[in-house]
Structure 1
Amino acid sequence: MASLELRHLRYFVAVAEAGSLTEAAERRLHTSQPSLSRQIRDLEHQVGVDLLSRSARGVELTEAGRVFLDHARAVLMQLDAGVQAARSAAHPVRRTLAMGFLTGLEMTWLPQAMRALQDQLPDIQVAVSSDYSPRLADALTRGRMDVAFMRPEPDYPLEYVVVDREPLVVLMPRDHRLTARETISPENLVGEVFIGGANKAGVLRMVTEEYLRRCGIAITMDHGVDNIAMAISLVASTRGLALMPAYALDLLPHAVVSRPLEGQPPTIDVVMGYSRTNTSPVLKLFLSRLRSNRR
C-alpha cells in the first residue's frame, strides 16, 4: 500500500482549484493526465473515501473532498511557511520585499509603492509579480510574498488595509448603440451579451451579483473572466458589455470605451494585504511609510 505523501496533497489541491484533471496536469503540474489520475486514486485509497466526483464536464469535490481540501491547504501552507522561515533565519541580513499586484493594478500602485521606499531602494531587493487575487492571498499566507495590492479575500488569515474604493463602470464597443448615453442604467444591460467576473475573480463577481439583485435585474453571465485584459478582449470580440472596476479605464484600446452607471454605482475595494505573522522589518517600514503618504 502506497503511503500518503505531500505530493498527493499538492496534486489534490491543484485538481480541486482547476476543476479539471487535464488542466491541472498540463498547466499547473506539468505531468500526464493518466499519471495524475493514479495519484488521486492513491490518495482516495489512503483516505478511504471519494474526494472527487468525475463527469464529462470535469471533476467536482464531494462533501468529504471539501472538508479534506481545507486541511490539505493548511498542511501545505504550514510547510511552506516553515521552509520560508528557515530560509529567512539562515539569511537574516538580506533585505528583501516581495510585492504582488492584482493584474492591472501595477500601473497605479507600483509607482506609489516604489516612492515609499525611494531612499532605501539601493539597499533593498524588490521583487514584483502580478496574479489573481486568491493566488496573491495564498502567496502571502505561505510567506512567499510580503505585501500585495489586491481584493480582500475572506478565506485567508490576512490583514487588509483599504487604500481605494473603485466604482464599477460599463465597458462597451466604441460603436455600440449605448455610447449615445452619458450614463448606463441597470436596465440597459438586459438583453446584451454580459461579461463579468469568474470564480477566480470572486470579489468582483460577488459585488456585481449583489448590485444586480439590489436593482431587481436578472442577467445571466455569458462570459466569466479572471482579469481586465480578458474582459476588454471579450468586449471587443463579442460586442458585449462588461461591468469592471474603474482602473480598466487606463487600459482601454481605441475599440473599447466606458460609461459610468447611473446613480450610486457599486464599488469594489482595493486593499493592501499582508500576513500578521510576517516580522520583516522592510515590510514594517513599507507599511508605515505608505500609510503616512496617504494621510
Structure 2
Amino acid sequence: MELRHLRYFIAVAEEGSLTVAAERRLHTAQPSLSRQIRDLEREIGVPLLVRSARGVELTEAGKVFLDHARLALAQVDAGREAARRAARPLKPVFAVGFLSGQEVNWLAETSRLLGTELRNIEMTVSSENSPELAEGLSSGRLDIAFMRHEPNHPELDYVTVGIEHFVMLMPSDHRLARQKEVDVRELAKETFIGGSNVAGPMRQAIEDYLAANGLNIEPAHRVHNLTMAMSLIASTRGVALLPAYAENFLPWSVTSRPLKGEPPTIDLAVGYRRSNGSPILALFLSRLRKNGKAPAS
C-alpha cells in the first residue's frame, strides 16, 4: 500500500464519483484511478466502494477505513513539516504587541525599522489592550508594545512615538454630525460613553479635559476597547471621545468630528522591559530613536 492509494481513495470518497475525483482532484484518467482503487481493495481484502445510481458510495468497511486513511495522511503531513522545521536553524523570536487598532498605523513601520533583520528572525504580532500589553512585557511574552504609559509597571521604559488628539464619535445621523467642529459643552446634553479603568490613561485624559472645561459628566456607559465603543455609540445613540486612530475603524453607522479649540491628547509609546537583553530589541530601539517617526495617516 502506498500513500497515493490513500489519497486517491479519500478523493473518491469525498467527491462521491470516480470521474469527478479523477478530473477535478487528481488530474488523472478515470480508468487508471479505478485500477488504483481495485489494487487498494485487493490489498485490504474487502470492498471499500460500491457503485450506485448517484456514483459511488462507501461500504461499512470503507467508512471505517476512510477515518484511518485521513489520520494516516495527517500524520505523514505533520511528520514532513516537523522534519523540515528540524532541518532549519531556529530563528530568534521578536514578539511585538499593539494596542488594538494601532497595528494599522505601525506594523509596516515596525517592519521597516527591523529592515533586513526580518530575514533572520521570526516576528510575532498580537493585538491587546494596554494593561495586557504591559503584563506581556513584564512576563517576557512580548519584546515591545505600542501602548500607553502604564503607571503600575516601573520595570518598563518607554519611547514616545506619537501624540494623538481626541475626536468626538457619534451616530452618522446625529444632530452634531451636521457641524464641522463640535463644542465639548454639547456633551452635557448627550448620552456620554466614557473610558473604563482598563483604559486608565485614556480615561484620565478625558476626565482632565472635561474638568478643564467646567464639565462634570458621569458616563452612562464605560468601555475599554474600540469595538465596545462603536457598538454602544450605534445602539444607544451616545457620543464618545476617542483618540483619532479610532477613525480607521468607523462602521457606516458611526462618524467623527473634531473638537473646537484645543483637543485633549494622549501619548502613544513603544514600551519594553528594561532588563530585556535581546540584541534585536536593542537594534530596534536604536533605529526607532534615530529614525522613528509617526507614519503618515
- TM above 0.5, yes or no, is yes
Partner of 2:111: 114
- Residues 167, 244 of structure 2: 8 Å contact kept: yes
Deviation at 1:95, TM superposition (A): 1.8
SS at match of 2:282: helix
| TM-score, normalisation: structure 1 | 0.67
RMSD between aligned residues: 1.2
Partner of 2:172: 174
Runs of 5+ consecutive residues of structure 1 not aligned to the other structure: 1-92
Partner of 2:136: 139
Deviation at 1:255, TM superposition (A): 1.2
Deviation at 1:287, TM superposition (A): 1.2
Partner of 2:259: 261
Distance 1:99 1:216 in 2: 40
Partner of 2:92: 95
Distance 2:132 2:249 in 1: 22
1:287 aligns with 2:285: yes
Partner of 2:158: 160
Distance 1:236 1:195 in 2: 11
Deviation at 1:94, TM superposition (A): 4.6
Runs of 5+ consecutive residues of structure 2 not aligned to the other structure: 1-89
Which letter maps to 1:124? Answer: I
Distance 1:294 1:147 in 2: 14
Distance 1:234 1:105 in 2: 21
Count of matched residue positions in the alignment of Structure 1 and Structure 2: 203
- Residues 129, 225 of structure 2: 8 Å contact kept: yes
Distance 1:96 1:282 in 2: 9
- Residues 196, 223 of structure 2: 8 Å contact kept: yes
Which letter maps to 1:138? Answer: E
Q: Which portions of structure 1, spanning 4 or more consecutive aligned residues, are displaced by more than 6 angstroms?
A: none
Partner of 2:271: 273
Deviation at 1:228, TM superposition (A): 1.2
Which letter maps to 1:152? Answer: H
Partner of 1:244: 242
Which letter maps to 1:122? Answer: R
Distance 1:217 1:150 in 2: 28
| TM-score, normalisation: structure 2 | 0.66
Deviation at 1:167, TM superposition (A): 0.5
Which letter maps to 1:243? Answer: L
1:195 aligns with 2:156: no
Structure with higher Rg: it is 2
Distance 1:292 1:162 in 2: 13
Distance 1:180 1:145 in 2: 44
Deviation at 1:179, TM superposition (A): 1.1
1:234 aligns with 2:238: no
